[in-house]
Amino acid sequence: MTIRVVIVDDQALVRAGFRMVLDSQPDLKVVGEAIDGADALRVLARTEADVVVMDIRMPTMDGVEATRRLCADRPAGPPRVLVLTTFDTEADAFAALQAGASGFLLKNVPPEDLLAAIRVVAQGDSVVAPSITRRLLDRFAGQLGAAPTADPRLAQLTEREREVLLLVAQGLSNAEIANRVHVAEATVKTHVGRILAKLQLRDRVQAVVLAYESGLVTPGG
- Name all domains of the chain by residue range, CATH numbers in brackets: 3-127 (3.40.50.2300), 148-214 (1.10.10.10)
Rounded average pLDDT over 207-221: 73
Q: What one-letter code names the amino acid at 80?
A: R
Q: How confident is the model at residue 137 (pLDDT cuts 50, 70, 90)?
A: low
Which pTM does this prediction carry? 0.70
Within 8 A by CB and 6+ apart from 63, the residues are: 8, 37, 54, 55, 56, 57, 83, 85, 96
The 10s digit of each residue's pLDDT in 99-128 is 878 888 888 888 998 999 999 888 877 776
Q: Is the peptide bond before 130 cis (omega within 30 degrees of 0)?
A: no
Per residue in 41-67, is it b (16+ CB within 10 Å) or e — as a string? bebbeeeebbbbbbbbebeebbbbbbb
- 40: helix, strand or coil: helix
Q: How many CA atoms lie within 13 A of 110 on its CB side?
A: 3
